[in-house]
């Protein structure tokens, strides 16, 4: 993924290069996989390939946010009370930020409760996305369009979170979601874009893949390109603006997934601060099944 293409800004619409998993008949009988860590020789084994697509239109959510129920996309304005350096303090994140996120998202969704799965910080290295052959110290922006969880993966997470009370969870609507925000802003360096779930063909556009970690093998969904897909981002996003995007929904087992990825934006200048961001992954439990 070393190729870089500039994006064009016209009337709050970006035209950018995004990366998609190549379609390949081999995956009709072979499981795609990718490693998240290097082997002894420095390689990251994978049998799937991503291909760039130029000229992808990315709309600005400041001009209007589509219906969350239909698109799986939302924006949450949340004053976190954290300063930039506070995000390195896990205790402050756990005791100050995450409770605010839980309550604000619960109200946004009309959910019964919100359960935090995990959070992750990313800090773009100066040479990203060019490969140096070494593993980065910090997690980097994700370029390939994907969805973090499959329905199967979420069920396994529910089994852990429910702590033996899985019957209660199975009777109710459960959503797996991500919340994402920059740690500095306005963000112009490798912003995140998301794809309206109603424009994604579940059977045609999404491919289950194994994601190999050092201690486990998980699943995610890789995205194939389709000209039906509609992409969005928040122009000049600031730390108090959390982008919400859905991964799974027991009420919409084939229509919930919102693919996402980062893209190089033409608004970024050589003096733009490298992107730093937080991503929070959650389960939302509703008190009804519909």
Using pLDDT thresholds of 50, 70 and 90, give the confidence band for residue 89. very high
H/E segment holding residue 218: strand 217-223
Output the pLDDT for position 10: 47
Using pLDDT thresholds of 50, 70 and 90, give the confidence band for residue 6. very low
Output the pLDDT for position 131: 64
Contact 110, 281 (CB under 8 A): no
DSSP string of 231-261? EEE-TT--TTEEEEEEEEETT-TTT----EE
CB atoms within 10 A of CB 151: 18
Using pLDDT thresholds of 50, 70 and 90, give the confidence band for residue 11. low
Contact 44, 34 (CB under 8 A): yes
Q: Which CATH topology does 8-22+30-38+48-285 take?
A: Jelly Rolls (2.60.120)
Rounded to the nearest integer, the mean pLDDT of the chain is 90
Residue 51: strand, helix, or coil? strand
The pTM score is: 0.91
Question: Model confidence over 34-85: pLDDT tens digits?
Answer: 998 888 888 889 999 999 999 999 999 999 999 999 999 999 999 988 999 9
Asked whether the predicted pLDDT for residue 267 surpasses 80, the reply is no
Question: Model confidence over 173-229: pLDDT tens digits?
Answer: 999 999 999 999 899 999 999 999 999 999 999 999 999 999 999 999 999 999 999
Domain boundaries, the chain: 8-22+30-38+48-285
Q: 282 has which bridge partners?
A: 116, 177
CB atoms within 10 A of CB 88: 10
Output the pLDDT for position 3: 32
Q: How far apart are CA 71 and CA 56, in angstroms?
A: 18
């Amino acid at each position: 993924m070393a190729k870089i293409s500039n994006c064009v800004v016209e009337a709050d619409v970006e035209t950018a290069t995004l990366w998609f998993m190549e379609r390949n008949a081999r995956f009709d009988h072979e499981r795609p996989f990718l490693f998240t860590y290097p082997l002894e020789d420095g390689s990251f084994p994978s049998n799937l390939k991503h291909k760039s697509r130029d000229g992808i239109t990315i709309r600005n959510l400041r001009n209007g946010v589509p219906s969350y129920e239909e698109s799986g996309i939302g924006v949450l304005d949340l004053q976190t009370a954290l300063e930039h350096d506070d995000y390195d303090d896990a205790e402050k994140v756990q005791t100050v930020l995450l409770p605010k996120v839980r309550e604000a998202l619960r109200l946004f969704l009309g959910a019964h409760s919100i359960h935090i799965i995990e959070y992750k910080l990313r800090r773009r290295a100066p040479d990203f996305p060019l490969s140096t052959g070494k593993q980065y110290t910090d997690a980097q922006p994700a370029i390939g369009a994907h969805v973090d969880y499959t329905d199967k993966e979420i069920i396994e997470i529910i089994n852990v979170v429910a702590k033996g009370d899985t019957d209660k969870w199975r009777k109710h609507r459960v959503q797996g979601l991500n919340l994402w925000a920059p740690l500095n802003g306005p963000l112009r360096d490798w912003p995140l874009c998301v794809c309206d779930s109603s424009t994604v063909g579940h059977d045609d556009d999404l491919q289950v893949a194994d994601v190999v970690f050092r201690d486990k093998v998980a699943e995610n969904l890789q995205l194939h390109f389709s000209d039906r897909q509609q992409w969005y981002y928040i122009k000049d996003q600031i730390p108090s603006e959390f982008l919400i995007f859905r991964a799974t929904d027991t009420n919409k087992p084939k229509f919930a997934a919102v693919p996402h990825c980062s893209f190089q934006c033409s608004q970024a200048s050589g003096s733009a601060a490298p992107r730093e961001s937080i991503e929070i992954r959650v389960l939302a439990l509703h008190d009804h099944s519909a």
